[in-house]
Structure 1
């Protein structure tokens, strides 16, 4: 059975484990693909990069949930929030903050290679 909400603690594969019929599942899947595209496309990313993206998105989700708690007047730990913010920034910096172009073969190169391959 697919999860309806994010886990309280990070676990590898948490995005794939979400029910994609839910708003959260669709949103996280879209965010994951957006970050992958920003880094040149999922196919060009290493396992480590994909893992860091998943961790960054969980941290981002956790931070947003803590901010909702604060806005609703519930318990809020500023130290944990600050530590998580710094960790998220480190993940984003490791992945890269600049967009990278996808490696896309132009049509003439594709046709030339196809002709050469016979």
Structure 2
């Protein structure tokens, strides 16, 4: 059985979130951000494969940027070109996904009650 990652892997992989050790703070934060981003786009259930893929990449880039910013705050050397490129990449991903929250398609109370009543009679 493969061990779960306790930190960001050195390279992006499509299953990087799933491979995180869910007991770690990093994994909880990453999953929360992914869910928040998906919810802001109307909910995971309405997102196409392409948008879910872009969401994972946006969260990846955000984590990479935060790691580099933390290194800067500790006085460590950071490649400013790579940091700038990462920020620009994140901006591009977020613009592609959309910067505005999308409303979810939620039935009004009357529709909800009718649907519940129909399900109860089936």
Normalised by the length of structure 1, the TM-score is 0.91
Normalised by the length of structure 2, the TM-score is 0.88
Matched, 1:37 2:23: no
Deviations 1:31-88 (A, max 9, x none): 1100011011100100110110100111011011111122222221111111111010
Q: Which residue of 2 aligns with 1:53?
A: 55
Unaligned runs of 5+ in 1: none
Matched, 1:8 2:10: yes
After TM superposition, the runs of 4+ consecutive aligned structure 1 residues lying more than 3 A away are 110-118
Cα distance in 1, alignment partners of residues 7 and 86 from structure 2: 20
Name whichever of 66-75 and 20-29 sits farther off.
Answer: 66-75
Cα distance in 2, alignment partners of residues 54 and 115 from structure 1: 38
What is the Cα-based RMSD across aligned positions, in Å?
A: 1.7
Following superposition, the deviation at residue 109 of structure 1 comes to 1.5
Unaligned runs of 5+ in 2: none
